[in-house]
């Protein structure tokens, strides 16, 4: 079979499979890509040829940061492809590009924003040749899949080594991420937060306490959260680099978002980030760094950040028969601590829902819940009642009891249907903190009830 016919067959197979799966109300995010690659092993490189592509990877914040960049491009009139479904492994990325190509394999869009799994980066980027690679942060995540955080760092480095022409946008506050710039020919743009944020607990620095170069313990001039901040090695001098894009002030944080002062080079701007929590300030800074590094107008991303919407299951809000339900994905200690701090800082009485599964996509090792600061939320007098669900509900409830749950009303709920019924009955706002597969399942049921689209609909 000729290359032209092979490409056409792969595109046709992908589109047919996706159409059929979505007719069956399934996402069609991965299987069509596997089918396309089986027909034509080079299909991804063909259907992405000539595009300007921004790739976002890292442990936390990939989906939201990608959403910020894509929202800015689309709002500015740039026809943009994005894997909004969150299918960020090679088959999912292949399915997205192939399904949005012409019958002959030509890309329909000139621009793309792709969220990519850390371990899959080395498979994806050599095929799509991105213009920019943004790395958000590196925390322990899915230990049974990735191992320790240095393994994740090394997996990302393999992807970077395959793209010497890509511009790297790296989080200057993360000592592990900064090390990705060592001995590479790439142009590097650093972003970060130039000021301390909140109080730092010593245990939270555990992911990167020691210098990646010489092993000495880091010193910090300031912290933001976890091991992020103004790190410095007193022995070898390895330290936080100067930032090209930075948040230099935070004047307001609220449930409606944050008002910040942001610097690009020597120029300063007032920016509203339309999503709450400090980690979304980081996501916004990363989005600005990638957007401007790719050559787009900074005012476009500033404008888009002011009205950006929450991503699927990430700070997403539902109106459940008059009860406000906010869903916040948690999947590792660092992200969970920030979510817990946000919930405990709202200053209003609420019902908390914790959902814990241990399926393959979550990582079968759930020991991370003992490293997360559930004590902070259990000490919050505004947490009035608790619901717990998921495959490992008993483990989650035990963790909360050790964290100081006390005499609060706490109940294990076995099904999404029963959980939704109890949330409807709540006279208080509800915060739902699920891990990944628990989020997907509950989000599907909440979306069906409240009229929100499926994940693959963006």
**pLDDT tens by residue, the chain, 458 residues:** 688 999 999 999 999 999 999 888 777 789 999 999 999 999 999 999 999 999 999 999 999 999 999 999 999 999 999 998 889 999 999 999 999 999 999 999 999 999 999 999 999 999 999 999 999 999 986 544 444 789 999 999 999 999 999 999 999 999 999 999 999 999 999 999 999 987 656 556 667 899 999 999 999 999 999 899 999 999 999 999 999 999 999 999 888 899 999 999 999 999 999 999 999 999 999 999 999 999 999 999 999 999 998 877 788 999 999 999 999 999 999 899 999 999 999 999 999 999 999 998 888 999 999 999 999 999 999 999 999 999 999 999 999 999 999 989 899 999 999 999 999 999 999 999 999 999 999 999 999 999 887 665 55
Task: Assign domain 314-457 to a CATH class.
Answer: alpha beta
Identify the helix (H) or strand (E) that includes residue 92.
helix 90-99
Mean pLDDT, rounded, of the chain = 93
What's residue 146's pLDDT? 44
Alpha-carbon distance values, 211 to 61, 128, 191, 227, 269 (Å): 24, 33, 20, 12, 34
Give the residue from 369, 380, 373 showing the smallest Cα distance to 344: 380
What's residue 458's pLDDT? 53
What's residue 122's pLDDT? 98
Q: Is the dihedral of CA 3, 5, 6, 10 positive or negative?
A: positive
Quick: pLDDT tens for 394-414: 999 999 999 999 989 899 999
Domain map of the chain by residue range?
Answer: 51-87+109-306, 314-457
What's residue 145's pLDDT? 45
Do the first three CATH levels of 51-87+109-306 and 314-457 match, i.e. the same topology? no
What's residue 313's pLDDT? 76
CATH number of 51-87+109-306: 3.40.1190.10
Alpha-carbon distance values, 337 to 49, 64, 311 (Å): 41, 17, 19
Rg of the Cα atoms in the chain: 22
What's residue 205's pLDDT? 66
């Amino acid at each position: 079979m000729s290359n032209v016919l092979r490409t056409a067959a792969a595109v046709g197979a992908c589109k047919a499979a996706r159409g059929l799966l979505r007719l069956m109300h399934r996402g069609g995010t991965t299987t069509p890509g596997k089918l396309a690659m089986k027909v034509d092993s080079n299909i991804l490189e063909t259907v992405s040829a000539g595009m300007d592509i921004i790739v976002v990877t890292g442990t936390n914040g990939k989906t939201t940061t990608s959403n910020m960049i894509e929202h800015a491009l689309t709002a500015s009139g740039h026809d943009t492809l994005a894997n909004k479904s969150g299918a960020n492994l090679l088959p999912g990325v292949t399915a997205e590009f192939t399904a949005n190509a012409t019958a002959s394999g030509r890309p329909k869009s000139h621009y793309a924003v792709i969220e990519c799994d850390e371990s899959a980066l080395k498979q994806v980027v050599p095929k799509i040749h991105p213009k920019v690679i943004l790395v958000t942060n590196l925390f322990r995540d899915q230990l049974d899949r990735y191992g320790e955080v240095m393994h994740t760092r090394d997996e990302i480095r393999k992807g970077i080594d395959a793209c010497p022409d890509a511009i790297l946008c790296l989080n200057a506050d993360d000592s592990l991420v900064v090390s990705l710039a060592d001995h590479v020919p790439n142009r590097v743009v650093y972003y970060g937060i130039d000021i301390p944020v909140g109080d730092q607990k010593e245990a939270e620095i555990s992911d990167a306490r020691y210098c990646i170069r010489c092993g000495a313990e880091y010193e910090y001039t300031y912290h933001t959260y976890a091991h992020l901040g103004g790190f410095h090695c007193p022995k070898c001098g390895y330290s936080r680099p100067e930032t090209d894009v930075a948040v230099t002030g935070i004047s307001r944080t609220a449930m409606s978002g944050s008002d910040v002062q942001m610097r690009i080079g020597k120029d300063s701007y007032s920016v509203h980030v339309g999503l709450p929590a400090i980690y979304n300030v980081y996501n916004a800074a990363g989005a600005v760094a990638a957007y401007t590094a790719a050559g787009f107008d900074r005012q476009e991303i500033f404008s888009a950040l002011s009205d950006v919407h929450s991503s699927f299951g990430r700070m997403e809000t539902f109106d459940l028969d008059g009860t406000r339900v906010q869903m916040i994905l948690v999947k590792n200690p660092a992200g969970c601590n920030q979510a817990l701090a946000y919930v405990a800082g709202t200053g209003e009485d609420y019902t908390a829902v914790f959902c814990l599964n241990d399926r393959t996509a979550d990582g079968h090792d759930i020991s991370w819940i003992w490293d997360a600061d559930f004590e902070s939320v259990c000490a919050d007098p505004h947490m009035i009642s608790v619901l717990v669900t998921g495959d490992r509900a008993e483990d989650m409830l035990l963790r909360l009891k050790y964290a100081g749950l006390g005499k609060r009303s706490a109940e294990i709920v076995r099904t999404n249907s029963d959980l939704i019924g109890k949330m409807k009955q709540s006279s208080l706002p509800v915060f739902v903190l699920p891990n990944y597969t628990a989020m997907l399942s509950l989000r599907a049921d909440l979306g069906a009830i409240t009229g929100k689209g499926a994940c693959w609909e963006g």
